[in-house]
Amino acid sequence: MNMNEEAAKRYRNYGFWNEVEQEAIDHAHVAIAGVGGDGFQLGLKLAQMGVRSFSIADPEVFEPENTNRVPGAVESTYGHNKAEVFRDRVMDIAPESNVAVFTEGVQEHNVEDFMHDATLVLDESELTHMQIGTMVARQAVAQGIPDMLVMNVGFAAQVTSFHPESKYTFERFMGIPQGAPLDEIKDMEVDFARCIPYLPPYLDLQTFKEVMEGAPLPSIAPGVDIASAIG
């Protein structure tokens, strides 16, 4: 791809932000922990905006149940690792991109490598695995970068961003004792009232009760679109 072709992908952004802002996007490195829904959509939007450097961590593969909300979940990708599918989609948008893939997901032994040189991290790990969010949040503080959580809730969404110098940390947000060992955090129950402060009136309460007992969180495409757009 020549420079004119690459510039053509960006110039339609001008008018809503300027060249200096576009250059900041061009030089960003975004780490995304989890691309099974909101993370996949938001990552693709960032690639369309001009981000060319990613670190993607996800240990899971796409299955038919992902198809209702993830553009990367199609018949041809069932059984394929989500992070690798995301990388392929980004490379279709911009072949010059650099996408590091961590098919083990975020682990204690690789969290530093996963977030190395990142200017922003998106924590799209499952809420039921709070030890992952804690690892990501602590590393973000160590690197002095923002840690952002994007979540769809029905036909709506919420976005929470943690400044690295803020006293309001991920651990405080989730009700985790500050500095608690990861092994203890892994066994803690999620208090959904802390991270999902509003339940829409059209929610099926029986479904939510099942979620509280360990069933997967329900999710629909419009909510994922909204969440990724707000993010």
pLDDT per residue as tens digits for the range 189-204: 888 788 887 788 888 8
pLDDT tens, residue by residue, 123-167: 999 888 999 999 999 999 999 999 999 999 899 999 999 999 999
Q: What is this structure's pTM?
A: 0.92
Residue in 127, 100, 97 with CA at minimum distance from that of residue 115: 100
Residues 52-80: pLDDT tens digits?
999 999 999 999 999 999 999 999 999 99
At which residue do the structure tokens 């969010």 appear? 133
Cα distances (angstroms) measured from residue 104 to each of 11, 14, 45: 37, 38, 24
Which CA distances in Å does 123 have to 10, 20, 50? 26, 27, 20
What average pLDDT does range 175-185 have in this prediction? Answer: 93
Q: What is the largest CA-CA distance in the chain?
A: 55
User: What are the start-end ranges of the H helices in 13-58?
Assistant: 19-26, 38-49
Q: How far apart are CA 194 and CA 187, in angstroms?
A: 17
Residue 5 pLDDT greater than 80, yes or no = no
Alpha helix (H) residue ranges in 156-212: 170-174, 182-186, 192-195, 205-212
